């Protein structure tokens, strides 16, 4: 129970942080009920969320209260010690549930290089290696990854992809950031470990190898020969070694599992001739084969390591992370003790200097204390050397800070140059725009003058059309009058001969062929514009 809760605490914190109200460290009980019910269902427990209603009198809970409730009401029903396979299975299912709650804030980022599955695997690696650290107020917590662990994971990923690893650059970055949260850790992996890598499949495989190493406790993988039980022939398989288990598959894709060999605390590993290995378990003896001496030594060491950790009830990588954490804490304690000792020596030096000043007045009278004073002098010199070394270290740190500031000033100068160039381009664009506006105004003026001229011509045309219509009316009136006169003439002179009447009429009135010509000449005369 305690082991499983310890393993999934970081996962639960991420889900809790995704549900909290504006980083107050508090979450509504109604939201925690859903999360608690899902965790209980994964553990074959039902109704464990009902007790949240009566747990404390507040409508919200902080992480300490929620963790205590999980410990007392959910995980207490499990046995204290679980087999490693069952422990990993529970941990995987709880991690998937917590990731479903908090994945939105990590998968919604634009321009991601890692796939969704790779981000989830990095999330599991991060939660395995990170530590739950309380904030200054003692109420809220943060899951932070130590720079040394982050460097170890990043360097492993970069080496697996064949990318160059800059240890100094990552150290400077860790010095400025400190401990890593999940989102910055993913961003650092993308920017520092995937330089020049564009193959998404290669990146996914590299992250999958990391996930198998850290989360699934894969100690070693590779091809080996195995002697059959019924047919004593050596066949080649792809082997995957974990504590307490050695699985083998038909190919390295690990899709078709052929079987597994159980490794127990009493198992022994012995070398054999022809690059072979004997794996002795309490049940039977297995014979494995390699291709060379170096591969056999590597597998013997890995198998012995798996046998040594097969009796534990905690995963191998978590034990290794705990050892590294204890080593870092030990180094931190040593540094603290060294600083305390240095402070004590400084105070002792100050006290010795005061004592030396007092002894200077009576040195002539107390010659017996000369030896003691010389010893004090030696101690003072030693303290001064230590102080000088401390000052040198301080100067090194200041030099590093000065270099970072110089780089920042260079970048700022480049930004100012870009701004100046942008201003010049903007002024040029404004000048061009002004010229275009002037040209446009000129064109508009010419267009307006042409429109005015066209309107004037239209008015003259209408006037001429009116005059032409009047002329037509006059001609028609004259024709009517001519017809009337002809009729009267016929009435007055009936005795005239037809030939004479026709000749007189022709001499007086134009012919029908000449009449349209005259009308057209008259109309052309009326249409002709005046010189004014």
CA count, 13 A, side-chain hemisphere, 107? 14
- Tokens representing 362? 């009576």
161 and 69 in a common domain = yes
Is 346 a domain residue? yes
Residues in the chain, overall count: 532
244 and 117 in a common domain = no
Percent helix, strand, coil in the chain (nearest 5)?
Answer: 65, 10, 25
CA-wise closest residue to 36 among 71, 90, 9, 74: 74
328 and 283 in a common domain = no
Q: For 20-56, where are the alpha helices, taking DSSP H only?
A: 29-42
- Say if residues 147 and 237 touch (Cβ distance below 8 Å): no
Between helix 200-214 and helix 147-160 the angle, nearest 10°, is: 130
CA-wise closest residue to 118 among 231, 208, 58: 208
pLDDT of res. 300: 92
Is 525 a domain residue? no
Boundary of a domain, candidates 327, 362, 397 = 362
Q: Please give the Cα distance from 475 to 515 (Å, whole number).
A: 10
307 and 347 in a common domain = no
197 and 244 in a common domain = no
287 and 196 in a common domain = no
156 and 45 in a common domain = yes
Q: Which domain does 273 fall in, by range?
A: 220-314
355 and 305 in a common domain = no
DSSP states along 245-272: EEEEESSTT--SEEEEEE--TT-EEEEE
- Tokens representing 466? 């009116």
Q: Please give the Cα distance from 213 to 317 (Å, whole number).
A: 8
270 and 253 in a common domain = yes
Strand, helix or coil for residue 18: helix
The domain that contains 226 carries what CATH number? 2.30.29.30
- What phi and psi values does residue 113 have, to the nearest 5 degrees? -95, -40
How many domains does the structure of the chain reveal? Answer: 3
Beta strands in 285-410 (DSSP E): 285-289
Q: Which H or E run includes 220?
A: strand 220-227
pLDDT of res. 508: 44
CA-wise closest residue to 133 among 145, 125, 147: 145
pLDDT of res. 513: 45
Q: For 167-292, where are the alpha helices, taking DSSP H only?
A: 167-177, 182-192, 200-214
Is 31 a domain residue? yes
DSSP states along 74-96: IGGGS-S---HHHHHHHHHHHHH
182 and 128 in a common domain = yes
DSSP states along 376-425: HHHHHHHHHHHHHHHHHHHHHHHHHHHHHHHHHHHHHHHHHHHHHHHHHH
224 and 180 in a common domain = no
Boundary of a domain, candidates 362, 392, 420 = 362
Q: Which H or E run includes 235?
A: strand 234-242
- Say if residues 192 and 161 touch (Cβ distance below 8 Å): no
Boundary of a domain, candidates 166, 188, 214 = 214
Q: Please give the Cα distance from 293 to 297 (Å, whole number).
A: 6
- Cβ contacts of 438-445, under 8 Å, gap ≥ 24: none
Question: Strand pairing partners for 240?
Answer: 221, 247
Is 524 a domain residue? no
Q: Is the dihedral of CA 287, 292, 298, 301 positive or negative?
A: positive
Is 194 a domain residue? yes
CA-wise closest residue to 324 among 445, 148, 142: 148
Condensed to tens digits (0 to 9), the pLDDT of residues 292-332 reads 999 999 999 999 998 888 877 788 888 888 888 898 888 88
Is 130 a domain residue? yes
Is 247 a domain residue? yes
Low pLDDT (below 50) residues in the chain = 502, 505-509, 511-514, 517, 519, 521, 526, 530-532
Is 465 a domain residue? no
225 and 205 in a common domain = no
* Residues 204-241: b if buried by 16+ CB within 10 A, e if exposed: eebbebbbbbbbebbbbbeebbbeeeeeeeeeebbbbb
- Say if residues 101 and 15 touch (Cβ distance below 8 Å): yes
């Amino acid at each position: 129970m305690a082991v499983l809760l310890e393993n999934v605490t970081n996962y639960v914190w991420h889900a809790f942080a995704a549900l909290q109200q504006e980083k107050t460290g508090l979450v509504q009980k109604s939201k925690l009920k859903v999360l608690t019910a899902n965790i209980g269902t994964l553990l074959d427990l039902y109704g464990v969320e009902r007790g949240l209603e009566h747990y404390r009198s507040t409508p919200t809970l902080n992480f300490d209260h929620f963790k205590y409730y999980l410990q007392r009401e959910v995980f207490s029903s499990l046995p204290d010690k679980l087999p490693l396979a069952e422990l990993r299975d529970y941990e995987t299912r709880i991690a998937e549930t917590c990731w479903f709650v908090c994945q939105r804030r990590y998968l919604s980022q634009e321009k991601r290089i890692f796939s969704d599955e790779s981000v989830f695997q990095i999330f599991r690696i991060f939660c395995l290696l990170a530590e739950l650290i309380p904030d200054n107020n003692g109420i809220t917590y943060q899951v932070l990854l130590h720079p040394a662990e982050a460097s170890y994971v990043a360097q492993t990923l970069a080496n697996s992809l064949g990318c160059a690893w800059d240890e100094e650059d990552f150290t400077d970055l860790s010095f400025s950031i400190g401990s890593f949260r999940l989102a910055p850790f993913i961003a650092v992996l993308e920017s520092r470990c995937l330089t020049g890598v564009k193959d998404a499949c290669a990146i996914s495989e590299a992250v999958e190898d990391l996930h198998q190493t850290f989360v699934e406790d894969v100690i070693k993988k590779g091809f080996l020969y195995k002697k059959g039980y019924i047919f004593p022939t050596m066949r080649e398989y792809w082997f995957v070694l974990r504590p307490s288990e050695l699985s083998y598959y038909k190919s390295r894709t690990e899709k078709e599992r052929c079987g597994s060999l159980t490794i127990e605390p009493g198992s022994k590993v012995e070398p054999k001739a022809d690059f072979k290995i004997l794996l002795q378990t309490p049940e039977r003896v297995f014979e494995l084969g390699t291709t060379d001496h170096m591969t056999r030594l590597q597998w013997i060491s890995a198998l012995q390591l798996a046998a040594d950790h097969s009796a534990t009830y905690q995963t191998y990588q978590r034990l290794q992370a705990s050892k590294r954490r204890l080593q870092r804490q030990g180094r931190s304690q040593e540094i603290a003790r060294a600083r305390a000792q240095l402070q004590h020596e400084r105070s002792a030096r100050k006290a010795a200097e005061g004592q030396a000043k007092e002894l200077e007045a009576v040195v002539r009278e107390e010659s017996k204390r000369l030896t003691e004073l010389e010893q004090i002098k030696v101690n003072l010199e030693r303290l001064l050397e230590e102080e000088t070394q401390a000052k040198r270290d301080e100067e090194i740190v200041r030099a590093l800070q000065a270099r970072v500031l110089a780089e920042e000033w260079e970048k700022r100068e480049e930004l100012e140059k870009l701004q100046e160039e942008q201003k010049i381009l903007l002024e040029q664009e404004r000048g061009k725009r002004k010229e275009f506006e002037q040209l446009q105004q000129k064109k508009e003026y010419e267009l307006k003058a042409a429109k005015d001229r066209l309107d004037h011509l239209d008015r003259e045309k209408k006037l001429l059309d009116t005059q032409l219509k009047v002329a037509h009316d006059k001609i028609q009136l004259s024709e009517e009058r001519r017809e009337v006169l002809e009729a009267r003439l016929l009435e007055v002179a009936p005795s005239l001969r037809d030939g004479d009447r026709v000749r007189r009429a022709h001499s007086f009135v134009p012919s029908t062929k000449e009449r349209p010509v005259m009308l057209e000449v008259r109309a052309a005369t009326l249409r002709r514009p005046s010189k004014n």
